[in-house]
Structure 1
Amino acid sequence: MTITVADVPDKGRFEARDDSGALAGVVTYQVTGPIVVYTHTEVDPGFEGQGVGSLLARAVMDDARERGRTVVPMCPFLGEWLDKHHEYDKLVARQTRRIK
């Protein structure tokens, strides 16, 4: 099974879908100028434990890097994921307080 992640700006989210088109998970966001706030990550229960959350996290962070954006990780999942993936440290606004 292949999971593909795509930005869906009309919905303000990135979507992860499997080969059949089933929605596996999403990351919602808000953009203001050069700042992107990732607000929520959700993985469908049928896809949990298969790395969908990590795939989404990497995709949204790579997108922010490509667009030259500063990331505010309001989503607890993404914040914890970033604690383990220091290759994205330069993109993250760490002065903000994460909501738990």
Structure 2
Amino acid sequence: MTFTVTDVPERERFEARDETDALAGVVTYQLSGNIIVYTHTEVDPAFEGNGAGSALARAVMDDARSKSRTVVPMCPFISGWLDKHPEYEKIVARSTRRVR
């Protein structure tokens, strides 16, 4: 399954849609200057296990990197995804304590 991820700034979220334009999932965020906080990831149950969450995570991180933003991963899904993708570590603000 292929997903297209787009930023919807007026709703402060990224949306993943499938080939039929059905909404598969979202990542919500708060933007302050050069800092973006990813607050929540939600995937529609009909799309779970099909890569929608990973497509969202990769897209939001690539977007942040392309715009030279610092990422604060408050969302547990994004934070866990980043643990498996160290190539983004340079743009992630982490503390010594994880918030869950």
Q: TM-score, normalised by structure 1?
A: 0.95
Residue type of the partner of 2:51? Answer: G
Q: Secondary structure of the equivalent of 1:10?
A: helix
| Residue of structure 2 in register with 1:8 after alignment | 8
Q: Which aligned runs of 4 or more in structure 1 are off by greater than 3 angstroms? A: none
Q: How far is the alpha carbon of 1:99 from its aligned partner?
A: 2.6
State the distance in 2 between where 1:55 and 1:96 align: 27
Unaligned runs of 5+ in 2: none
Residue type of the partner of 1:84? Answer: K
Q: TM-score, normalised by structure 2?
A: 0.95
| Residue of structure 2 in register with 1:95 after alignment | 95
Unaligned runs of 5+ in 1: none
| Residue of structure 1 in register with 2:73 after alignment | 73
How many residues get paired? 100
| Residue of structure 2 in register with 1:34 after alignment | 34
Q: Deviations over 1:4-46 (max 9, x none)?
A: 0000001000000011111000000000010000000000000
Residue type of the partner of 2:75? Answer: C
State the distance in 2 between where 1:22 and 1:33 align: 31
Q: Deviations over 1:58-98 (max 9, x none)?
A: 00000000000000000000000000100000010012744
State the distance in 2 between where 1:97 and 1:73 align: 12
Q: How far is the alpha carbon of 1:3 from its aligned partner?
A: 1.1
RMSD of aligned C-alpha atoms? 1.1
CA contact (8 A) 1:73 1:98 kept: no
Residue type of the partner of 1:54? Answer: S
